[in-house]
Amino acid sequence: MDDLDARPGPAPIGPRRRHDPQLDSQGNLKHFLTIDGLERPLLTEILDRAEGFLGVARQAVKKVPLCRGKIVANLFFENSTRTRTTFELAAKRLSADVLNLNISTSATAKGETLLDTLRNLEAMHVDMFVVRHAESGAAHFIAAHAAPHVSVINAGDGRHSHPTQGMLDMFTIRRHKGSIDGLVVAIVGDVLHSRVARSQISALRTLGAGEVRIIAPRTLVPAGAEDALGVRVYHDLREGVRDADVIIMLRLQRERMDGAFLPSEHEYFHLFGLTEKRLATAKPDAIVMHPGPINRGVEMDSQVADGERSVILEQVSNGLAVRMAVMSMCIGTQHLGAQQEAGHD
Ligand code: NCD
């Protein structure tokens, strides 16, 4: 769908591609740990593949056999609703067997090390770990220590990266706008603590967005963001959303704040909360997004969250298709087209 040649995009295919620990020796996706360093054609392949999976939800039998016989273990060391359930459902729709480890009742709570837990799961012939962890770098650590046949997907590590969320957001934007090319995208709120924002910014830049803005109080902007992330920083909501095509709201991630970052939620809403009135300067067809969970009355009011520009629930549905795409690229049998033509469901 995107024009691959039109944009400057990331570095050309070269030695870096061969050394990316996320790719196998053929350049295929083996782990999905971060969007950083992945090239535009690969990101586009994820989006195109996800497009093909949207229809599975409408089939009488909501399954395809791409990961039949594979075992996926969900290792969630942090809370999750949408991400964990959509990963589970995505794996089941791909016909994989799924293990959901309840970490609080597992042996980890009895002092077993992470690597010992992994080794035991590998002894059960698990093919993929889906990992969420409060420590940045946890998924990379697991990928570096996993058995050679095992794939690892990062479902959120600390404030570092949440690549499937980033890609499902790109997928949702592309479905509404046709392409990411040239779009003005405003990300509003707690960027400092947001792994989602980092993944979105990385994907938006690689896929050719025209301008990526962040709008936040000074205390919630990462140091040196303009240069380090390639974004424009605003501290005024109305100014920041002017002529935006896409507005992405973020939750205040208090669990990652270890000091006083904000005066009060009331005051935050007063300055940075999205209302219909404050949307007035955005493009008339601008869409409003949020990775969830929403705090109504803090980052946005209900009129906007449930309004006609909101695509928040579509993001959830799209998350399934995108997670199916990524999982099947890592451990699938890779013959989607041929299988569909042969009439398999
Ligand atoms: C996000 C996360 O966990 O990073 N949520 C999600 O995955 N849907 C964002 C958040 O918790 O605010």
- Confidence at residue 86, expressed as pLDDT on a 0 to 100 scale: 97
Task: Indicate whether residue 7 lines ligand 1 (CB < 6 A).
Answer: no
Rg of the chain over all Cα atoms, to the nearest angstrom: 20
Closest CA to 70 of 90, 91, 56: 91
Tokens of 333: 């049998």
Largest CA distance in the chain: 61
- Confidence at residue 114, expressed as pLDDT on a 0 to 100 scale: 86
- Confidence at residue 105, expressed as pLDDT on a 0 to 100 scale: 67
Which atom of ligand 1 lies nearest, measured to the CA of 292?
A: 8
pTM of the model: 0.91
Task: Indicate whether residue 238 lines ligand 1 (CB < 6 A).
Answer: no
Which atom of ligand 1 lies nearest, measured to the CA of 83?
A: 7
Mean pLDDT per segment of 10 residues, for the chain of length 345 residues?
39 53 94 97 98 92 95 94 96 97 74 88 96 95 95 97 98 98 98 97 98 97 95 97 98 84 87 96 98 96 97 98 98 62 43
Alpha carbon distance 195, 192 (integer Å)? 9
**DSSP strands (E only) in the chain:** 71-76, 97-102, 128-133, 151-157, 184-188, 211-215, 232-234, 246-249, 287-289
- Confidence at residue 257, expressed as pLDDT on a 0 to 100 scale: 85
- Confidence at residue 110, expressed as pLDDT on a 0 to 100 scale: 74
The full DSSP string for 189-214 is S--TT-HHHHHHHHHHHHTT-SEEEE
Q: Do residues 23 and 17 touch, judged by C-beta distance below 8 A?
A: yes
The C-alpha angle with vertex 172 and arms to 166 and 173, in degrees rounded to 5, equals 90
Domains, the chain, with CATH or none: 2-161+318-341 (3.40.50.1370), 163-312 (3.40.50.1370)
**H-type alpha helices, 6-137:** 15-19, 40-53, 82-93, 114-123
Distance from Cα 291 to the centre of ligand 1, integer Å: 6
Task: Indicate whether residue 165 lines ligand 1 (CB < 6 A).
Answer: yes
Alpha carbon distance 233, 194 (integer Å)? 15
Q: How far is CA 33 from the centre of its chain?
A: 10
Task: Indicate whether residue 248 lines ligand 1 (CB < 6 A).
Answer: no
Distance from Cα 317 to the centre of ligand 1, integer Å: 15
Task: Indicate whether residue 62 lines ligand 1 (CB < 6 A).
Answer: no
Task: Indicate whether residue 253 lines ligand 1 (CB < 6 A).
Answer: yes
Q: Best mutation site among 153, 162, 187, 249 for ligand 1, i.e. most ligand atoms within 8 A of its Cβ? A: 162
Closest CA to 155 of 96, 229, 79: 79
Q: Best mutation site among 196, 200, 255, 294 for ligand 1, i.e. most ligand atoms within 8 A of its Cβ? A: 196
Distance from Cα 56 to the centre of ligand 1, integer Å: 25
Which atom of ligand 1 lies nearest, measured to the CA of 82?
A: 8
- Confidence at residue 9, expressed as pLDDT on a 0 to 100 scale: 42
